[in-house]
Amino acid sequence: MRLKIFSSILILGVGIYSFAAEEAKILSEDRASIFDLNEQKAIEDSAKLSKDWINPITYTYSSMEYRDSQNQDRISVVAINQPIFKSGGIYRAIKYASSLRNATLAEVEIARKALIKDATITLFEIHKIEAQIKKQEYLIKNSELDVQRKKEQVLSGVLDASYLDNALLDLNAKRLSLADLNYNKTALINKFDTLSDVDYKSLQLPKLELISQEEFISKNKFIQKQESVSDKDYQYSGMILAKYLPTVSAVYNYTKYHNDHKSSSFPALAGTDTQKYGFTVSMPFDIRALNDTQSAKIEYIKSKTQLNIVKDEENSFYKTKLASIKRAEQKLEIAKEELATYTSLVQQMEELSIAGLKTDLDFQTMKNSKAIKELDLDIFNYELQVELLELYARI
């Protein structure tokens, strides 16, 4: 059974939101397994690639009959031709496989984080829209109180009927907005259900805090991926260069003649086996060598330049997101100040209502307005957490 304590994904000691550790808690089992399989495939592909420099041992069995005689040759051959020195190419090939694995795993992790971020943001949006629905219900209550107030004033001749008409139109508009909000909530829940097997109500929201720019850059998955790509291209350029340099190979051949003397075309070899071993030195002379090595070198320079671009983009992303976070914090501060004002007004209005200087309708309206400001705090806090989540999703 899946764990359902989502708040534990915030490691308070270091302030890191662990997406990878928590993907099993929020992503559906099928979606999580896809990422696991992609990681396993990357590891297996890398392991295979790191062994590509090892040549297979070849076994050949041949059976040949001769039409003009009763002779038949049955021969087994085991052949090994294994490079043992390739001017650094073997080392570069192993390092290339490792770098390719790291780049692929980083890509899988980025995709995993993106999906978990999408699911988590959807979770925040559901709670946000629930707060907006409650807020809208309080706005409707205030509009209903206003209609009641306007109705009394119109019937007593204090106001023109147009004021009541406008109040009724405003009430109906708020009711229509509530219907839209309820629809949007249903759509968000359905979206979340496509991403997760867990009921959103059973998950507790994380509480994130701002991380420093230095930490954001040092742990940034997009930068780490590009670093692996750059290292992969560097190792590949070394492999290409080594391809045109001397190679030393160990050679071994074992041949077994299975026939007896009578049936063999080679009576002297019948029933015997032979072994040959030694080494070879080879070096290709290819007119395309310079173009091939320069092309690989250019690709490496491109990836190094791309790394600088990615670092600039991630620094810019942090600064832009920091501005959004500050804006969300300012909205929170304003909402806190408004709540403090309305709290004081509710207290004063209650005293005036008890004294008969204000109607109960005025007191209820002010209480509802205070509740609206409390919900604004929740709404703005959800918006702040979503902004912070955009940063955590990249580390």
- Tell me how many domains the chain contains: 1
Residue 369 lies in a domain: no
In a domain, 145, yes or no: yes
User: Would 307 be classed as within a structural domain?
Assistant: no
108 and 224 Cβ atoms separated by less than 8 Å: no
Characterise 157 by phi-psi region: left (phi > 0), alpha (psi -120 to 50), beta (else): left
194, exposed or middle or buried, with CB in 10 Å at 0-12, 13-18, 19+?
exposed
Half-sphere exposure of 171 (CA within 13 A, CB side): 16
Tokens 């002010």, located at residue: 366
φ, ψ of residue 79 to 5 degrees: the values are: -125, 135
In a domain, 63, yes or no: no
Continuous segment of H or E residues that includes residue 95: helix 89-155
* Joined tokens for residue 69: 């005689």
CA dihedral 159, 160, 163, 165 (to 10 degrees): 130
Ramachandran angles phi, psi of 204, nearest 5°: -90, 140
Tell me the residue range of the domain where 150 lies.
Answer: 6-52+86-246+283-300
Q: Which residues of 80-107 are buried (b: 16+ CB within 10 A; e: fewer)?
A: eeebebbbebbebbbbbbbbbbbbbbbb
Q: How far apart are the first and last CA of the chain?
A: 28
Q: DSSP readout, 111-149?
A: HHHHHHHHHHHHHHHHHHHHHHHHHHHHHHHHHHHHHHH
Does a structural domain hold residue 321? no
Give Cα 382 to chain centroid, integer Å: 21
CATH number at residue 291: 1.20.1600.10
User: Which position has the token pair 């662990």?
Assistant: 18
Over the chain (395 residues), the average pLDDT of each successive run of 10 is: 35 41 71 90 90 88 67 82 86 91 93 92 96 97 94 88 93 97 97 92 89 95 95 93 91 82 56 84 90 94 96 97 95 94 91 82 92 96 95 92
In a domain, 207, yes or no: yes
pLDDT at 14: 34
pLDDT at 293: 93
328 part of a folded domain: no
Question: What's residue 98's pLDDT?
Answer: 92
* Res 13: pLDDT: 31
Please indicate, yes or no, if residue 80 is contained in any of the structural domains: no
Q: What's the token pair of residue 330?
A: 């300012």
